[in-house]
Amino acid sequence: MTDLTDAARAIEGSRRKVLPEAWFAWLLVAPAMLFIAVIVAWPLAETIRLSFMEADLGGEHYVGLANYQDLLESRKFHDTIIRTFYWMFLSVSLKLILGLIGAVLLNAAVPGRGLFRVLVMPPWVIPIAIGCIGWLWLYNGYFGILSGTAQAIGLTDGPFEFLAYKNSAFYSAIVTDVWVGTPMVTLFFLAAMQGVSRDLYEAAWVDGAGRWYRFRRITIPQIMPVIVSMALLSAIWTFNSFEIIWILTEGGPRSATTTLIVDTYKTAIGNFKFGEGAARAVVIVALLATFSLFYLFFLNKVNKHYGVK
């Protein structure tokens, strides 16, 4: 086939003008590239420029590294970075664990699983902001069903405001973030599980391998590439998760839920300190890029370990 094609190409090439492959490829890629350049790269360059400026509504002037220096010396900013990574690791771990459990459950050959699959998806399909309004109400001490139930069964004496205390607000926001992220993870894991060849399971079954053994030795290794790539994507999205925190707590109480992205937004949009906000944005990008590189390095090792090319 290939020989034939080559021969055909040779003949064709002499008769009609064929666009070289590289040119054609760049012709196809260029529109997307240009779009990204204007809408992402240009603002990114602008952000880097602004991060060296003291900029507000009044104008801007060059201050060198002063914005970064302020960040380095700020105790609060250190706390924010640590909080953000804690937020990311906790939330992503929960999403992956719940997603895996969910996928196993929805993959089980029981009647009604088609319906269950549909019922899992709404948090993913609806606008994040709308789901958060529901959670806002759930967490309300006076009107929410969570506090209502807690009172009815005697867990608390009076209303409990989930979002009013530092710890409970942080973990409540985590729960909501996990709620938003889990359906997509579940769906991708489910899809990956269905792609695993049945022959593998049958061979193991004939050899007397139990369910748990098959799960550990066949399912997990087979879907490992999907798990690791979902983990990276999910980590990046969680790190940058803004709307959920903003709608639930606006970063409060007393900064308990202020992650880097919320801090950046508050600084730049809330207080009109564009330069300081830009420096924070650059820190986010730098941290995520470093994290991703380490991760991809690790991913390579995992893939080798599991024999995936």
Partner 1 sequence: MMDRYTKLQMAGIYFAITIFLIFILLPFFEMFMTSLRPLEHLFRSPYQFWSDDFSFDAYSQMWVTVPLLGRYILNSIFIATSVTAITMVFVVPAAYAYARLDFPFKSASLAIFLGVNMFTGAVLLIPLYRVLRTLGLLNTYWAMIVPGVAFLIPTGIWLLRSYLEKIPRELEEAAYVDGASRMYTLRRVVLPLAVPGLIVVGVAVFIGAYAQQFLFAITFNQQRELQPLPAGLYEFIGYQSVTWNEMMAAALVGVLPVMVIFLFLQKYLVAGLTAGAVKE
**Which of 66, 90, 164, 236 is the binder for partner 1 (CB under 8 A)?**
236
Transcribe 238-251 into DSSP letters.
HHT--HHHHHHTTT
d(CA 268, CA 81): 17
Query: Does the footprint of partner 1 cover residue 123 (CB under 8 A)?
Result: yes
How many C-beta neighbours within 10 Å does residue 88 have? Answer: 23
Site for partner 1 in 9-68 (CB under 8 A): 9, 12, 16, 18-19, 21-22, 24-29, 31-33, 35-36, 38-40, 42-44, 46-47, 50
CB 283 within 8 A of CB 47: no
- Lay out the site mask for partner 1 across 134-173 (x = CB under 8 A, - = otherwise): xx-xx---xxxx-xx--xx------x--------------
Query: Cα separation of 125 and 186, whole Å?
Result: 13
CB of 238 to partner 1, least distance (A): 11
Kindly identify the residues of this chain, within the stretch 173-232, that bind partner 1 according to CB under 8 A.
Answer: 179, 182-183, 187-188, 190-192, 194-195, 201-202, 205, 225-226, 229
Please tell me whether residue 145 adopts helix, strand or coil conformation.
Answer: helix
Here the tokens at position 292 are 């991703």
Tell me whether residue 170 or residue 238 sits nearer to partner 1 (CB atom).
Answer: 238
Q: Let me know: does 175 contact 98? Beta carbons within 8 Å.
A: no
- Span 70-89, contacts to partner 1 by CB under 8 A: none
Q: Does 292 bind partner 1 (CB under 8 A)?
A: yes
Residue number with CB closer to partner 1 (64 or 134): 134
Q: Which among 76-84, 88-96, 164-172, 268-276 is the span making contact with partner 1, rule CB under 8 A?
A: 268-276
Neighbours of 152 (CB within 10 A): 10
Site of tokens 């801090």: 263
Query: Closest approach of Cβ 155 to partner 1, in Å?
Result: 13
The count of chain residues that interact with partner 1, using the rule CB under 8 A, is 107
Structure tokens of 216? 């550990």
Closest to 86 in 3D by CA, of 239, 289, 245? 239
Q: Which is nearer to partner 1, 10 or 75 (CB)?
A: 10
Q: Is 248 in the site for partner 1 (CB under 8 A)?
A: no
